Structure 1
Amino acid sequence: MSSYPGPTLVLAQQVGVPAAEVWAAWTRTDRLATWWWAGLPDTTHAVDPQVGGSFRVASAQADLGADARFVELVEQRRLVLDWRWETGAGQEADDRVTVELREHAHGTLVILTHEIADAGADTSMRDGWTGALTSLVATLEGQG
């Protein structure tokens, strides 16, 4: 059971590449920039993949941003972030975002879990996560 009082989003996405490539897409700034809000030309990306390190993406044009800290990293298997969206009034408490990678014969299954701290939050961010994962697949499978 989650210790976060808000809703929990869980999305799963198949990616036809090895876990090492998916891991690099999440943990290397140059790779993150190829798929996360790649259509927004002013997007900035910064990743420091170590416990306590930052994960940040922002676009002034879209008035969107996320500022997170790595809580756990298990190479090519799992990363956990304390997460805050930087839109509107911002957040009072961190959400928890977990990305699990399960490699198999046909590539990697990505399971993203977003536990929301705000009990009154809606789940409209599901569309954003779905778009991000779709872009990840298109980029890693050579379609983006």
Structure 2
Amino acid sequence: MNLTGTLEDDGRTLVLVRRFGVPIDDVWASVTESERLARWFGTWTGDPSSGRVLVTMNAEAEPGAPAEFRVDACEPPRLLAVSAEDEFGNWRLSAELAEVDGGTTLTLRQKELDPKTLPETGPGWEWYLDRLVAAIEGSEPPTLAGFDTDYMPMSTGYAALVPGGAVDDS
């Protein structure tokens, strides 16, 4: 598989794009409605209008406790920005949707990225976004069993994107 991510902001923002042959409202529902989000990422509970929800990831090897995500921006059906902090770091995420040629383009950005995490973060987002594609297309999503063989080889390519070789292999 080829990596699709690029870096912006001197390597501090990871950007990945996926294109869908469905209307923008369908993609929006897949990233904002808990039931649809569950098909590829996880579920959320709570009241988004409060500015916070609890997200439980369901595609991981070992589901963890729900993580609190702040809703930083929600402009249906074009922009969702959320943020969280956990033992793996800071997560500043945005999903921007645009109608293009009768379909929809989703641009995912992870901002304030620690460049040292890119060799793991890049393949992880590739996997999740491919799961989103499969959920929208109604096909079988990539499984965790194939992650190490199909996605982790991208790690080297992602490490090479880091400006100045800031990735430490130790």
| TM-score in same-fold range (> 0.5) | yes
Secondary structure of 1:70's aligned partner: strand
- Which whole-Å CA distance do the structure 1 matches of 2:130 and 2:53 have between them? 23
User: Equivalent residue for 1:15?
Assistant: 20
Fraction of identical pairs, as percent: 32
Cα gap change, 1:106/1:60 in structure 2, threshold over 3 Å: closer, same or farther? closer
CA contact (8 A) 1:19 1:108 kept: yes
Q: Pick from 23, 31, 34: which aligns with 1:29? A: 34
- Which whole-Å CA distance do the structure 2 matches of 1:111 and 1:33 have between them? 20
Cα gap change, 1:60/1:18 in structure 2, threshold over 3 Å: closer, same or farther? closer
- Which whole-Å CA distance do the structure 2 matches of 1:59 and 1:35 have between them? 8
CA contact (8 A) 2:78 2:96 kept: yes
Cα gap change, 1:61/1:111 in structure 2, threshold over 3 Å: closer, same or farther? closer
Q: CA deviation at 1:130?
A: 0.8
**Tell me, which stretches of 5 or more residues in structure 1 are unaligned?**
37-43
Q: Which protein is bigger by CA-based radius of gyration?
A: 2
CA contact (8 A) 1:81 1:97 kept: yes
Query: Taking CA–CA contacts closer than 8 Å with sequence separation of 6 or more, which of the two structures ends up with the larger relative contact order?
Result: 1
User: Equivalent residue for 2:44?
Assistant: 46
- Scaled by the length of structure 1, what TM-score is found? 0.74
Count the aligned residue pairs.
Answer: 130
Cα gap change, 1:10/1:64 in structure 2, threshold over 3 Å: closer, same or farther? farther
Higher fraction of strand? 1
Q: CA deviation at 1:58?
A: 2.9
1:97-137 deviation line (CA, Å, top 9, x unaligned) = 01100112231111000013546544421111111111111
Secondary structure of 1:50's aligned partner: helix
